[in-house]
Structure 1
Amino acid sequence: MSKIQAKDVNGVRVLILNRPEKRNAIDLEMYTQLTEYLIQGNSDNDIRAFMIQGQADCFTAGNDLTDFLKHTDIDPQHPAFRFLFTLLDITKPIVAAVAGAAVGIGTTLLLHCDLVYADKSAKFQLPFVHLALVPEAASSLLLAQTVGPKKAAELLLLGDSFDAETANKLNLINDILPSDSLFDFALDQATKLASLPPQALQASRRLMRGNIDGIRLQMHAELEEFSTRLKSDEAKTRFHAFLNKKSHKPT
């Protein structure tokens, strides 16, 4: 079964992270699939909105670190960063539904979504510095714009996890929903967006997003630093310690 499931419902392309045995850790193949689904949907007039979700117990545990250690040559065509730049360039609205862990990319991609809903099980974390890396997805810029510079520093530099109530207070999500209605509610919201006049919707979204060129420049700056950090001895030490710790966890 595909690690990314896609279905089109009432003008909404629903993308489901489907690697539960790895807590939806995103590998390079998954990034490639996500990018292709987004690009194709963005050019399809029958698709007017996107929705991204995981399973009821996990959104995503973040990047597949083993995969990253095998592919440390980072440029804009690297599958992970191509996905991030595609998120930036999507012209149609994106809704996300978050249950369980939303680690690293699981939190930063939300900054590019128009509407985000979570249940009480959602746990967000930005552990880049913990792994001797730097933020991505322009989160070093967008997070400060969303929550303020001091709170952004706390979330990005300390990298502690935080719950759905905190995310809601910080305006990182729109609302907290009961677990049994989260996905249906998010899809309803995406369907509402898909039913609106598409040109006016996309134009309004474009105006609200502001300086896309500035965001793109920040993403390129992050990419260059991320590439340098990923190859550093500091990162290799942290990565191997993290993977070794995971391999010794009781099952």
Structure 2
Amino acid sequence: MIESRITLVRNDGVLTIGINRPDKRNALDGAMFGALANALRLAQDDPQVHCVLLHGTGPHFCAGHDTAAFGALWPQPADGAIRRCIAAFAEQPKPLVAAVTGAAVGFGATLLLHADWVAAGESTVFRFPFADLGIVPEAGATALLARRVGDLAARDWLLSGRRVTAAEALRHGFVSCVMPDSDVLAASRDYAARLAGKPHGALQSTRRLLLAGSSRSALEAIEDELAHLNVLIPENSTEGPTG
């Protein structure tokens, strides 16, 4: 890991990954996407890691793509950093816990569809601004969001791009629980530690069965989305969106 804005701490079977760019609301540029992909692959390959915990540094979780860097990253090649990062989330065999506060926008919201437990602070606001930006969602959201929150809610959130509060996200099952911001990281660490202490093979098998039980895989949706994004982003923006 050579990207200091993605931090790693391994303790008692949990790999904690921090997005550490608080001055930009933890927005991701190309190097950070690549480092995040590497961190997730490290968790996948390390037999001492049994659960992954993802959090943001400071008051925000992740504001999505860095606007200054976004345009240069598209179209995404087969080995592109964003593609590798999305695939690393989708193919992660080990439980993923997310601690979320503040802004969770664009990719900062869609990546949560690959989490098994999401603790949201009361300040959290989710946004899926893709349609406003002339593009489509990514990270498998067109396959996964409706499964999690229901068809009409998914259509509303993805088409309108409006703000979704933590309370609304909880009502629709997008997050597991809502609590004061100050409690989110500690609660997430406790949950991750409990998962890490369970029989590892059973947890990973359960996750694989859950993924296989759907009629359309997230990986298929991801490939379709990336194909559209490779066309739409160069057409619609030279500087890129915030999400």
Q: Same fold (TM over 0.5)?
A: yes
User: 8 Å contact 1:56–1:179 — kept in the other structure?
Assistant: no
Q: Counterpart in 2 of 1:247?
A: none
User: 8 Å contact 1:55–1:99 — kept in the other structure?
Assistant: no
Q: Counterpart in 2 of 1:199?
A: 201
2 CA distance for matches of 1:186 and 1:170? 20
Q: Counterpart in 1 of 2:25?
A: 23
Q: Counterpart in 1 of 2:84?
A: 82
Q: Counterpart in 2 of 1:129?
A: 131
Higher RCO (C-alpha under 8 Å, 6+ residues apart): 2
* 1:64 pairs with 2:75: no
1 CA distance for matches of 2:182 and 2:68? 33
Alpha-carbon offset, residue 76 of structure 1 = 3.5
% identical equivalent positions: 33
Which amino acid in structure 1 is aligned with residue 84 of structure 2? R
2 CA distance for matches of 1:76 and 1:59? 27
Alignment of 1:160-199 (within 5 A): 160-199=162-201
CA displacement 1:80-132 (0-9 Å, x = unmatched): 12100111111000000001000001110000000000110101000011111
Q: Counterpart in 2 of 1:208?
A: 210
CA RMSD for the aligned pairs? Answer: 1.6
User: 8 Å contact 1:48–1:194 — kept in the other structure?
Assistant: yes
Alpha-carbon offset, residue 40 of structure 1 = 1.3
SS in 2 for 1:59: coil
Q: Counterpart in 2 of 1:41?
A: 43
1 CA distance for matches of 2:78 and 2:16? 25
1 CA distance for matches of 2:230 and 2:213? 25
Alignment of 1:96-115 (within 5 A): 96-115=98-117
Which amino acid in structure 1 is aligned with residue 103 of structure 2? A
1 CA distance for matches of 2:194 and 2:128? 31
User: 8 Å contact 2:16–2:53 — kept in the other structure?
Assistant: yes
Equivalent of residue 118 in structure 2, options 92, 116, 119? 116
User: 8 Å contact 1:75–1:223 — kept in the other structure?
Assistant: no
Q: Counterpart in 1 of 2:237?
A: 236
1 CA distance for matches of 2:12 and 2:181? 23
Which amino acid in structure 1 is aligned with residue 60 of structure 2? C
Alpha-carbon offset, residue 209 of structure 1 = 2.2
| TM-score, with structure 2 as normaliser | 0.94
Which ranges of structure 2 fall in alignment gaps of 5 or more residues? Answer: none
Equivalent of residue 229 in structure 2, options 221, 226, 229? 226
User: 8 Å contact 1:16–1:53 — kept in the other structure?
Assistant: yes
Which ranges of structure 1 fall in alignment gaps of 5 or more residues? Answer: 244-251
Which amino acid in structure 2 is aligned with residue 3 of structure 1? R
Q: Please tell me whether Structure 1 or Structure 2 has the larger radius of gyration of its CA atoms.
A: 1
2 CA distance for matches of 1:226 and 1:103? 17
1 CA distance for matches of 2:158 and 2:141? 9
